[in-house]
Structure 1
């Protein structure tokens, strides 16, 4: 993984969501923390082109997120905070197959890919289930499957354990621990990122902490008055 921010900033009219940032990311597992409104989600969305920089540029594995937007989206998958907003078709296997339609695969190839990704996450029994009937943990695993079926090299997760009970939170944590993809995880669940390679801390649109999880999490707790 090679993500390069070159004086990248984001402004919305008079409000600055992210101050100019120059940064390089290459570690396999990176946590992103900060208080609400700190700029962490804006930062993460810059990586796969969901947000475009107002100034500067962002490159992912050598591709500019504006000039090479389609390639970047294939390189970096994004799982939203609420997976219900990501899974749009009523039957799970149909929703997962949707991401493969652009690849001009045969029906047999699509069916095989869907079956493989469902098996990877231990949810083949959910293939024909209606998505509105899935539990929180099942929805999160389904969101993983719907994004990873297209084989992105980087997976960005926005609050993957948000609103999950302890059982489903632990299920998601175990699933993440067994994944081979590069992970960038935005979270308030500090225990989730304690074993990560690097953690970034944002505050008021500025990167104020960058280092090993123990040090940066301690800095965040001081900032939050915890």
Structure 2
């Protein structure tokens, strides 16, 4: 389970010829135990910062974050083995030229022999419905296919938790639904930041982030209604 113990983030920014402290995420204490959790809020609210704290991509400037009692600051490698992160833009995550190469790269620590790694990568892609593009250039894939390749590469190391930062934002409707269905079908706990309120409504719990604060937390219908009311008032 992921737990935030007063975890927050402040940064120094230049202002009027000097430096000032800006709060990106106020100190937050929450336990994230539900199987499906969504994080919603306006652009710049702090959603992505909250998610990046969950696997140590960003370290808190106050408090701490633990994953199964492993501290993200002290035990970063152990945390990242447990928490896989899916980025908004898969091209920020895919570093090899083909899907097969990228998934094989994820397997390099767990499977020693190249031929076995290759066979496993091809099998995992086939299971995800991507066998026909396994040897294609990443740049020839659709946005949905790229995002599913990213997910396959993350899942290859068998994390217990998947954290996805707005994974459907850049996708058209068909690819968006395909990625949502793939995430919802996983055995792993899934924590997502999303602007897709229909997607958020399918989860077990929703956190609403506004101006660096978690201002609502709980039942999806109630939290989404609060967010819609807030946006309507603005």
Report the TM-score, using the length of structure 1 for normalisation.
0.96
* 2:14 aligned with 1:7: no
Partners of 2:41 and 2:208 in 1: CA distance: 5
CA distance, structure 2, for counterparts of residue 82 and residue 104 of structure 1: 27
Structure 1: gaps spanning 5 or more residues: none
Distance, in Å, in 1 between the alignment partners of 2:216 and 2:116 is 45
TM-superposed CA distance for 1:111, in Å, is 2.2
Give the equivalent residue in structure 2 for 1:177: 184
Deviations 1:181-208 (A, max 9, x none): 1100100011112121100000011010
Alignment correspondent of 1:221: 228
Matched with 2:130 is 123
Partner Cα separation in structure 2 for residue 166 and residue 20 of structure 1: 36
**CA distance in structure 2 between the aligned counterparts of 1:95 and 1:36, rounded to whole angstroms:** 30
Q: Secondary structure at the match of 2:94?
A: coil
- Following TM superposition, the consecutive aligned residue runs of length 4 or more in structure 1 with deviations greater than 4 angstroms are none
8 Å CA contact retained: 2:111, 2:117: no
Residue 164 of structure 1: CA displacement?
A: 1.1
Provide the C-alpha distance between the structure 2 equivalents of 1:192 and 1:225, rounded to a whole number of angstroms.
Answer: 20
Size of the aligned set, in residue pairs, is 225
2:203 is paired with a residue whose SS is coil
User: What SS does structure 2 have at the residue aligned with 1:225?
Assistant: helix
Partner residue of 2:214 out of 201, 207, 211: 207
Once the two structures are TM-superposed, the CA of residue 169 in structure 1 deviates from its matched residue by 1.1
The worse-fitting range, judged by mean Cα deviation, of 200-209 and 113-122 is 113-122
- CA contact under 8 A between 1:200 and 1:210: conserved in structure 2? yes
Alignment of 1:76-155 (within 5 A): 76-103=83-110, 105-155=112-162
- 1: CA distance, partners of 2:99 / 2:122: 11
Q: Distance in 1 between matches of 2:126 and 2:189?
A: 20
The alpha-carbon deviation at position 106 of structure 1 amounts to: 1.8
Give me the whole-angstrom Cα distance separating, in 1, the residues matched to 2:215 and 2:187.
29
2:43 pairs, out of 4, 25, 36, with: 36
Q: Quote how far apart the aligned CAs of 1:124 are.
A: 1.0
**Is 1:53 the equivalent of 2:53?**
no
Distance between the aligned counterparts of 2:47 and 2:219, measured in 1? 17
Contact 1:117/1:148 (<8 A) preserved: no
1:10 and 1:55 in contact (8 A); partners too: yes
1:119 Cα offset (Å):
2.2
Q: Distance in 2 between matches of 1:9 and 1:23?
A: 12
* Post-superposition CA distance 1:161-193 (Å, at most 9, x none): 112111111111221222111100100011112
Q: Give, in whole Å, the separation in 2 of the partners of 1:156 and 1:183.
A: 6
